Amino acid sequence: HDAVEVIATKRDGGRLSGSQIDWVVDAYTRDVVAPEQMSALAMAIVLNGMDREEIARWTDAMIRSGQRMDFSSLSRPTADKHSTGGVGDKITLPLAPLVAACGVAVPQLSGRGLGHTGGTLDKLEAIPGWRADLDNAAMLEQLDEVGAVICAAGTGLAPADKKLYALRDVTGTVESIPLIASSIMSKKIAEGTGSLVLDVKVGSGAFMKDLDDARELARTMVELGRAAGVDTRALLTDMATPLGRTAGNALEVAEAVEVLAGGGPEDVVELTLALAREMLASVGRDDIDPADVLADGRAMDCWRAMISAQGGDPDAPLPHAADIQVVAAEEDGYVARIDAMAVGLAAWRLGAGRSRPGETVQAGAGVELHVGLGDRVRRGQPLMTLHTETPERLPRALAALDDGLELSEQPTPVRDSVILDRI
Ligand code: URA
């Protein structure tokens, strides 16, 4: 094969053969296919798609580009959760220790944020001393002793995806169901988890803006997982509104700790418990009610052990940003809409995210909401507080929020659950 032949097949709307896919993924990983050739192919896939058989082969080729991990030596069953990314999505933080406290091993290989969606590792790095990098031996030991580990994915897992995702990110080729599904599932299958629960986000703050696309993405991933022997299920959840009341690294850690302490915003608690129930069911432990394990403090104990095991001090005060600005209501009304994309963009501009890989993020930066959907507010009442170390960024963050929060004169119906569907 050669690269131009493979690109032309997909450009002209054809199907890629198994051997074309195996060749191009391997050759790109070995630098035989150039980045400009792979980006042309990725764009042809964005425009012309891939069928189920092509997607399965593409996923398999990316898995075979690296190592596979093996958790079979653990005494506990393994369950993992993956979210397609949202604003204020700190669910991994309370979820991993909660499910681990129910007797399951939870290996959460996580990433750093790019764009307006935050990365779990960036959030945890707000905790003084906490380290994301563990080798495989340390990870297995922590899974056996503590039950939960949240750490950086080693470079050995699906290296073809790592390289391709970075390329897609700068060539406008992220938004493709076949490419997103194969990217996520190659990493999860290579990781070796026995079961997987997917949280597929829908709405302005997500990759998938509408429910039909999200459902198609979820079905594609569930099929790929099951074909590889991983018990895979998915929830479709609302990302039109940010999750919880915070977007930003230390702010989100503080909110996660509130949930572990038995409080926290209703939507974060609802989704944490729903995902925990799916994870427990997937390993045959639906006899355990995670609400009890959250309420009696066992999840909090596990969180503290998990943070300490990775060098963090669970009692250390979290960093605060030096500058804050409060945004107040200009009129009386009811909160009808809080746009996830607007809040995500504002948090990003305040310094919570990065615009290039490798940039440092501000631990204290972000947006703190003081109101939720449906709340009645009075003129002058604080709606949100913006936090940053770099006050020169405030005007652009405020601009992002311009149409992000809408008040209506009359109470409007608001969502009663963040869960839209289950697959
Ligand atoms: N997350 C991934 O890991 N890959 C994608 O393609 C999109 C989101």
- Describe the crossing of helices 177-191 and 35-48 by its angle, rounded to 10 degrees: 110
- Is a pLDDT exceeding 80 seen at residue 93? yes
Check if 180 has its Cβ closer than 6 Å to any atom of ligand 1.
yes
Q: How far apart are CA 49 and CA 27, in angstroms?
A: 21
Q: What is the pTM of this model?
A: 0.94
Q: What is the pLDDT of residues 133-168, one digit of tens each?
A: 998 899 999 999 999 999 988 778 999 999 999 899
Per-residue confidence (pLDDT) for residue 112, from 0 to 100: 79
Closest atom, ligand 1, to C-alpha of 184:
3
Catalytic center residues: 82, 161, 168, 183, 187
pLDDT digits (tens, 9 = 90+) for 271-301: 999 999 999 999 999 999 999 999 999 999 9
122's CB contacts (< 8 A; 6+ apart) are 112, 113, 249, 352, 353, 361
Q: Using an 8 Å Cβ cutoff, are 221 and 230 in contact?
A: no
Structure tokens at 319: 């960093």
Assess whether the C-beta atom of 183 lies below 6 angstroms from ligand 1: yes
Residues 6+ apart with CB under 8 A from 102: 276, 280, 285, 288, 290, 293
* pLDDT (0 to 100) of residue 280: 98
> Token pair of 2, please?
């050669």
d(CA 146, CA 106): 10
How far is ligand 1, taken at its centre, from the CA of residue 182, in Å? 8
pLDDT at position 117 is 67
Cβ(235) to ligand 1 under 6 A? no
For the chain, the structural domain boundaries read: 3-49, 79-154+168-309, 323-408
CATH number of 79-154+168-309: 3.40.1030.10
- CA separation for the pair 244, 272 (Å, rounded): 11
The minimum-distance atom of ligand 1 relative to the CA of 168 is: 6
Determine which helix (DSSP H) or strand (DSSP E) holds 139, and give its type and residue range: helix 136-145
Residues 6+ apart with CB under 8 A from 299: 94, 97, 98, 101, 260, 290, 293
> Distances in Å between the alpha carbon of 65 and those of 38, 251, 259, 366?
16, 37, 39, 37
Rounded mean pLDDT, 160-188: 92
Q: What share of the chain is helix, strand, coil (3-state, %, to 5)?
A: 45, 15, 40
Q: How far is the CA of 165 from the centre of ligand 1 (A)?
A: 7
Produce one character per residue of 311-324: b if its CB has 16 or more CB atoms within 10 Å, e if not: ebebeeeebebebe
Which residues make beta-bridge pairs with 208? 202
Query: Residue 332 C-alpha to ligand 1 middle, in angstroms?
Result: 41
Pairing mode of beta strands 323-328, 382-388: antiparallel
Expressed in angstroms and rounded, the spacing between residue 364 Cα and the centre of ligand 1 is 26
| Residue 2: strand, helix, or coil | coil
Q: Is the CB of 165 under 6 A from ligand 1?
A: yes
Closest CA to 383 of 371, 365, 400: 371
Atom of ligand 1 nearest to the CA of 180: 6
How far apart are alpha carbons 308 and 82 in whole angstroms?
Answer: 23
Write the residue with the smallest CA distance to atom 2 of ligand 1: 184
- The b-or-e profile of 336-357 (16+ CB within 10 A means b, else e) is bbbbbbbbbbbbbbbbbbbeee
Whether 46 is in the pocket of ligand 1, judged by its Cβ within 6 Å, is no
Instruction: State how far the Cα of 227 lies from the Cα of 206, in Å rounded to an integer.
Output: 26
Residues near 24 by beta carbon (within 8 Å), at least 6 away in sequence: 1, 3, 6, 16, 33, 38, 41
Q: Where are the beta strands (DSSP E) in 12-127?
A: 79-83, 106-110
Determine the average pLDDT of the residues in 305-331: 97
Looking from the CA of 258 toward its CB, the CA atoms found within 13 Å total 17
Residue from 245, 256, 240 nearest 370 by CA: 245
Q: Are 123 and 247 in contact (CB under 8 A)?
A: no
Q: Which ipTM did the prediction report? A: 0.96
323-408 CATH, one of 3.40.640.10, 3.30.300.90, 3.40.50.620, 3.90.1170.30? 3.90.1170.30
Q: Is 251 exposed, middle or buried (0-12, 13-18, 19+ CB in 10 A)?
A: buried
Average pLDDT over residues 195-204: 96
What is the pLDDT confidence band of residue 114, given thresholds at 50, 70 and 90? low
* Share above pLDDT 70 across residues of the chain, in percent, rounded to a whole number: 99
pLDDT at 360: 87
Cα 22 to Cα 1, 174, 184, 216: the distances in Å are 10, 21, 18, 25
Mean pLDDT score across all residues of the chain: 95
- Largest Cα span, the chain: 67
- Hey, do 79-154+168-309 and 323-408 end up sharing a CATH topology, with the first three levels equal? no
Q: How confident is the model at residue 110, as a pLDDT? A: 87
- State in Å: Cα 152 to ligand 1 middle: 15
